[in-house]
Amino acid sequence: MTTMTETEKRIARAAYDAMYPGDPSGRVKVGIADGDIEGFLDDLGESWEWLAFTALRAGLVLIALGSIVFARSLRPYWSLSREKRLHVLDRLYKSDVYVVRQVITMQKATAGFLYGAMIRSEIAPGRAPEVDEALVEWRKLVPKHRAADGHGGVATNEEAA
């Protein structure tokens, strides 16, 4: 099991909130900050492959460093205004370096998984299907199964032949 530090979780909460804020006057009033971001990240640490989770964490480090470079502030990223946090994310996303753009895109996509689950019933009332708990439990078992076979679930050349 891989877990994030409290600092990484604070950065993630601030970045996710900058990406998916609530709008009290809009159709979707709830923002991602109303959700259990920390629990969601803990679940990812348990279910994602090590390399993918490390890439997610690397993106948070880039965001923290980006606040120094782009916001020109030594204050922690999570203490910046929403506008400054968005500015940092925007500048990182527009980077000329492909890997930087991709880890920021990964942050946006990951936050979107959580936010989409949170607001699904608000954006499509009555159309959101019931969650099959058996599928949820099965998905949690997949990484254990892959780890048990010794090579991440990928068949070797000998096994494929």
- pLDDT higher than threshold 80 for residue 40: yes
Question: What is the distance in angstroms between the CA of the first residue and the CA of the last residue of the chain?
Answer: 33
Beta-carbon contacts of 130 under 8 Å, excluding residues fewer than 6 positions away, are none
Structure confidence by residue, pLDDT tens digits, 107-141: 999 999 888 888 876 666 565 556 556 555 554 55
Look-up of token digits 């990812």: 44
Per-residue pLDDT at 152: 47
Nearest to 41 by CA among 18, 60, 20, 21: 60
Domain parsing of the chain, residue ranges = 6-129, 130-161
DSSP string for 83-105? HHHHHHHHHHHT-S-HHHHHHHH
Given pLDDT bands bounded at 50, 70 and 90, which one contains residue 160? very low
Contact in structure between 156 and 150 (CB atoms under 8 Å): no
Residue 160 CB coordination number (10 Å): 7
